[in-house]
Amino acid sequence: MLVILGVFFEVALGVLLTSTSERLKQINDLLIAESSQKAAEAAERTAAAELQIDRIRSGIQPRWLVMGDRDGDKNVRGPRRAAIAKYAGTPALIQGGSA
């Protein structure tokens, strides 16, 4: 009789563990699908942000400011420097290049 009860409980436990395992697998699959969807949405937002950055960068034009007198144009450069003096302290990207 004890053997029969032992076998019965072993089978019952096996069925319970199998159904629990299947349920956990379903939950895991749902979580993976949700994570994949969130990753795809994040990738879309990243791509949109990169496009916006590219548009902004394409609109930025390099500015050249020669500090010295060139070809006697001091009377032109002086007023230009005065006009841009109001932007003193404004962050700027300075790149090297040929003048």
Cα–Cα dist 43/50, whole Å: 10
Q: What global pTM score does this model have? A: 0.46
Q: What pLDDT does residue 85 have?
A: 80
Q: What pLDDT does residue 67 have?
A: 62
Cα–Cα dist 40/28, whole Å: 18
Cα–Cα dist 42/35, whole Å: 10
> What pLDDT tens digit does each residue of the chain (99 aa) get?
888 888 888 888 888 888 898 999 999 999 999 999 999 999 999 999 999 988 888 777 666 666 666 677 777 777 877 787 888 777 777 666 655
Q: What pLDDT does residue 96 have?
A: 63
